[in-house]
Structure 1
Amino acid sequence: MLLQASIDWNLTIHIIDPDAEAPCRHLATSFTQGSLTDYDTVYQFGQQVDVLTIEIERVNVEALEALEKEGKRIYPQPSVIRTIQDKRLQKQFYRAHNIPTADFILTENRADVQTIADDFLPAFHKLGRDGYDGRGVQRIASSADTGKAFDAPGVLEQAVDFEKELAVIVARNEQGELATFPTVEMVFHPEHNLVEYLFAPAEISPAIDQQAQAIARQTTEAFGIVGLLAVELFLTKNGEILVNEVAPRPHNSGHHTIRANVTSQFEQHWRAILGLPLGDTTALTTAAMLNLLGEPGHSGPAQYEGMETLLSLPGVFPFLYGKKITRPFRKMGHITVIGSDLTEIQAKAETIKKSIKVCSRQ
């Protein structure tokens, strides 16, 4: 989707990805297969470009830092990526910058979790590094669950009694200009910690919206990031806003902006990292976004069932990611729904959830 946004501006884009069959390979000016975590591979790739950006945090930061010292423009900055890719550093960053977040305890291994007092539970144990899309997270409801904890450095985060999960995407360019997208409400899959769908705008009061926007901007300024920062938030039962996690890139919580906003998050990312004026983030319509996930029990070449039903509905736009192989709960695409109000959109979303499936060819 970043590539598709770049085509409008005739940008020359070079891609490195570990997957030889990555869907982006046919859209890029050039494509390199290579490990994103190998120092030499990332360093050599970075030598060839003027501006380097990422779409996943799991990348060799040492190579990016070396390139930055040599004068390469790297956005988001390696220092920001280093902090965000380690949830332990991320949580400590919030505390140091007075950014509201759930209480937490750093842990080195499973034994540390097993010493935690019951009054801190329920909590979530998160791997410090390499957790992604719900992986690397375990719910520890009571001391009986501590055997589920990771036997590796992590953070134990006290569970938040929240009313809603929200997100705000903030853009910041080299000149320090900021622009925020409207606050959205996210609904997560009950088992797999993946965004199942979101609604935009979030059904919250103007006061809560202002608070969410202000905290997202505060967080972005604290990092000093150039690019996009997706700030995931909890709205607690007593009206507090807490930062859950952030992502320094275009994010699932902004996919709907391709159809629903004046400027999409993908165009905005290019504007930010190229030092251009930021675009208008105004919402053109009420919207929802549903993740299109691989069906349980299906692994293999993907086929999409129910596309005709989907395409017969007004205001419904599927985006397929070009992944050849489906797996249970793998993100295979998303569907944006637009309409006059949330009631209409929620009804469409329920119809869509029942009508389209990503299965494997038998």
Structure 2
Amino acid sequence: MADKENKCSLIAGPMRGLCEEDARRRAGGDSSTGGGITDGASDNVRDFAESIIKKINALVAPKDAWAPKSADSALYEPFLWLGQHLAVAIFACVVVVCGLTAWQGAPRLRQMGASTGWTLAAVAGMATVPGAVMMLNKAVSTAFTAAFDSNEATLFKAILHDLQHGADKDVPLAKLLTVSALVVALAPATLVFITRNLGILAFVCMAPLVLASLARGGDTTAVKTWAMRLLGLMFCPFALLLVSPFVTLAHGSLVVDTVLLLAADALMLRMIFHGIPYFGPQIARGARTFVERRTDNRAAHAVVRAGAPDVYEQENTPHRRRTVNTPGRAVHQDRGVLLAAYGVRQPKRPGRFTAESAIARRREQTADSRSTARTAARRSRSAASPPAPGGSSTP
């Protein structure tokens, strides 16, 4: 015992207490705690991972947002005043125009009635936006927390379980990779926290200006675009739940859990900057190509072509295929939608075909021209050839 105490005296810091405690347990024959200092280190790793996971959850889906909670907030009140006066000004312009064109009769009366109703709805909706957004944010945070705490098949629960009962729980490298991935995941979580809060704040403050466009007569295009962008920001934490079906494939492997964690971070950041991923057209075109290559049945070809027809994508920048909108292009399109809701038409750049679409279209035009040339040549030969002898003649 003295030798062990002497050995522990050579250790400085908090590890000395663990060494002395382990020595006392070994001297007393207490084996109920298992491996002593080894199990203590394993528990410390799990506690550290659990603290990081709690911090990531708090950053990704916080209960409180930076957006104003009520319409009388000092930050939201100037935008509310501007939006209400803008809606009233638009309604006054509509009334003047309807009065000057009253000779048209019922259409102008219907327009003025629709503008009156939409103006009242817009002014009433402006005051309810902050409270509704705050309630929705709390609901999303509560649902996200409940989903991760109650379901054992979620990613973070699987990581905590595999740290104790995984197949590679005794491999130091696997634990190091998992803890390192959790530490690295703090950076995307912080970026998501800042982007979500700033984005929600901007969209809430912009709400009166967007809702004021309804006073023109009920054009809800700008309102729908604004609502979809706002909902995309608020529901982006649920991207972490999209990898839950793949958690069962890990089979208790910490390395696979680390890969899934990095994939979830990348998917969440993509949803922040590019919106919700939509792979439907790509999957449909892939299924059509698979069927066309595997069978020669015309009925099957007709079915897959009806389900996935040929579509030529329009693109402003040629020779570069684009599947999702970049942030700059998305902002440009949203600005165009908002200006169009107010009656201002934004000039559009001429669209061009992508390289792939231009090649496919050229091939089809070449095939059509060849078939047309063959048909014309066949008709000319049939017209120039003399009638067969002995044929019946018409009277």
Do Structure 1 and Structure 2 share a fold, with TM-score over 0.5? no
TM-score scaled by length of structure 2: 0.20
Q: Highest relative contact order (Cα 8 Å, sep 6+), 1 or 2?
A: 2
Higher helix share: 2
Q: Which entry has the higher C-alpha Rg, 1 or 2?
A: 2
Higher strand share: 1
